[in-house]
Amino acid sequence: MSLPDRKETEVRRMLAGPHPLVPPNLAVRAAARGRRRKAHRRVLRRIGWLLALLALTALAWAVSAQPWTPPPVRTTPPVEGW
């Protein structure tokens, strides 16, 4: 027969002892916290979609306007060799 494990003995002692009281409003607080977390996630998701939409709009504008090309020349270059 082996000796009982120290950890097992401690766990059994903790389980056999008096249990702490659960706060009476624990469920209400947990539900409120869950609602807040859900609302924060919803806001972050909407902000993410808005940023994605803005990035897509900026990309579409850049493709159509091509702001990297130089503007057209307003004057003609001088004619040489005539």
**Highest mean pLDDT range out of 1-5, 18-22, 31-35, 74-78?**
31-35
* DSSP assignment letter at 22: P
- pTM of the predicted model as reported, rounded to 2 decimal places: 0.60
Taking CA atoms, 82 is separated from 57, 75, 76, 77, 78, in Å, by 50, 19, 15, 14, 11
Mean pLDDT, residues 3-24 taken together: 87
Residue 1: the pLDDT is 57
